[in-house]
Amino acid sequence: MILNIHKPIGWTSFDVVKKIRGIVREKKVGHGGTLDPFAEGVLIIGTGKDTKRLTNITAEDKSYTATIQLGQITNTLDTEGEIIETKPIPKLNEKMVEQVLYSFLGTSLQIPPMFSAKKVKGQRLYNLARKNIEIEREPAEIQIKDIHLEKLTETELTFSSTCSKGTYIRVLGKEIAERIGTVGYLTSLIRTQVGGFSIDKSQSINEFEDAWKSSAN
């Protein structure tokens, strides 16, 4: 079975896997594409034989809506970390910010953040980052297929984007802030789509649990 679950803020992707495993009483449960604890939205869960389908689903394009806090940056590039730098924010207007966003369209190389689940030489990067160890990371090719400004204030901007597998939106947010002429980190991240699975059709964990129990009766 393939499930389109709306991961809540504060849960790890594995927390969701464990919860679903307990509900359906199935040992073999996996997820397609990690979502950071501070993020929410579409998390694809596979159970039993359908876990094999997750590789193909994970390879699909993903869509996000994200908010960047400008003028400050954290070591994790999100709300989980500590502020490590502040910088003045230039006077912004929508046209200027849209031009900056459009400059990210197409194929580019992106260096994975240290605070990520990516493995380098068998070690998860976040385990090294927590020990204040930074190592060289190979840049990965990514593709930004669509990007739009959703909202702009003096200190924050919200954008939506569709991108290829392996794109770190936290890094994209940092790079957007840099091109604007300041620093920034993500205060909100919502995954709205994974391939053909959209947030409009996703179920909360409670909704899924209630439906599962009802069908079992």
Q: Could you tell me the CA-to-CA distances from 132 to 86, 114, 115 in Å, in that order?
A: 20, 10, 10
61 is catalytic: no
Number of domains in the chain: 2
Indicate if 157 and 201 belong to the same structural domain: no
Q: What is the CATH number of the domain that holds 160?
A: 3.30.2350.10
Distance CA 21, CA 25 (A): 6
pTM: 0.91
Q: Which of 36, 61, 200, 210 is catalytic?
A: 36
Indicate if 107 and 178 belong to the same structural domain: yes
pLDDT given for residue 20 in this prediction: 94
H-only helix segments in the chain: 13-24, 54-58, 94-102, 125-129, 169-180, 205-216
Give me the half-sphere count of Cα atoms (radius 13 Å) on the Cβ side of residue 153: 8
Indicate if 54 and 135 belong to the same structural domain: no
165 and 44 in contact (C-beta within 8 Å)?
A: no
Question: What is the domain range of residue 189?
Answer: 62-193
For the chain, residues with pLDDT lower than 50 are: none
pLDDT given for residue 168 in this prediction: 92
Distance CA 40, CA 59 (A): 19
Per-residue pLDDT tens for 108-136? 999 887 676 677 667 666 676 677 767 77
